[in-house]
């Protein structure tokens, strides 16, 4: 292999290495990770740890019913948003999903993208005293 060919191969290798480096940076820093919220239902109450929530980020809410009784997790925060609910081996998609019913000792996962800032209340329609909320502020992270 001549000097010109070696130079072309090295140059091509450097370009490929640079492309891989840029792709690695983009996948780490440019991609937004999903935000996770865990909600436990225990002793006829919602137990939620509030985490900082961001607009436009994929959001995953995991609801675990630790009671023996059946409960509901419903909220208007999903109104009009494409939502995916996974519960009992069944996956539902739609824009009209308002929540999920959970039998005792069962769990469900709701996936959507947070698009509206504000206070988002959730409740159990079976037990009217069971209520909770998530607070989404429209604040840019520094």
Q: CATH number, domain at 94?
A: 2.60.40.420
HSE toward the beta carbon, residue 34, CA cutoff 13 A: 11
Please state, rounded to an integer, the average pLDDT across all residues of the chain: 81
Residues 98 and 44 in one domain: yes
- pLDDT tens per residue across span 94-128: 998 889 999 999 999 999 998 889 999 999 999 99
Residues 107 and 39 sit within 8 Å (Cβ to Cβ): no
Report the pLDDT value the prediction gives residue 49, as an integer from 0 to 100.
Answer: 84
Residues 27 and 85 in one domain: no
pLDDT at 3 over 70: no
Stretch 16-28: mean pLDDT: 37
Stretch 56-84: mean pLDDT: 95
Report the pLDDT value the prediction gives residue 104, as an integer from 0 to 100.
Answer: 97
Residues 14 and 62 in one domain: no
Range of the domain at 8: 1-31
| Continuous segment of H or E residues that includes residue 17 | helix 3-25
Q: Which tops the pLDDT comparison, 132 or 52?
A: 132
Residues 61 and 122 sit within 8 Å (Cβ to Cβ): no
Angle at alpha carbon of residue 37, lines to 117 and 72, rounded to 5°: 90
- pLDDT tens per residue across span 75-99: 999 999 999 999 999 999 999 888 9
Minimum mean pLDDT range among 7-16, 57-66, 81-90, 101-110: 7-16
Rounded Cα–Cα distance for residues 82 and 111 (Å):
9
Is 74 inside any structural domain? Answer: yes
Instruction: Tell me whether strands 71-75 and 99-102 are parallel, antiparallel or unpaired.
Output: antiparallel
Rounded Cα–Cα distance for residues 116 and 109 (Å):
20
How many folded domains does the chain comprise? 2
Is 141 inside any structural domain? Answer: no
Is 93 inside any structural domain? Answer: yes
């Amino acid at each position: 292999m001549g000097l010109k060919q070696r130079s072309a191969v090295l140059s091509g290798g450097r370009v490929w290495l640079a492309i891989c480096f840029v792709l690695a940076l983009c996948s780490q820093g440019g991609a937004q990770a999903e935000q996770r919220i865990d909600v436990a239902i225990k002793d006829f109450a919602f137990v939620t740890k509030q985490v900082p929530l961001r607009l436009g980020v994929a959001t995953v809410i995991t609801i675990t019913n630790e009671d023996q009784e059946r409960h509901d997790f419903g909220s208007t925060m999903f109104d009009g948003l494409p939502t995916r609910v996974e519960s009992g081996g069944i996956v539902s998609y739609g824009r009209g999903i308002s929540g999920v019913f959970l039998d005792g000792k069962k769990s469900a996962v709701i996936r959507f993208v947070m698009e509206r800032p504000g206070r988002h209340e959730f409740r159990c329609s079976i037990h009217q005293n069971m209520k909770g909320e998530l607070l989404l502020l429209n604040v840019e992270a520094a």
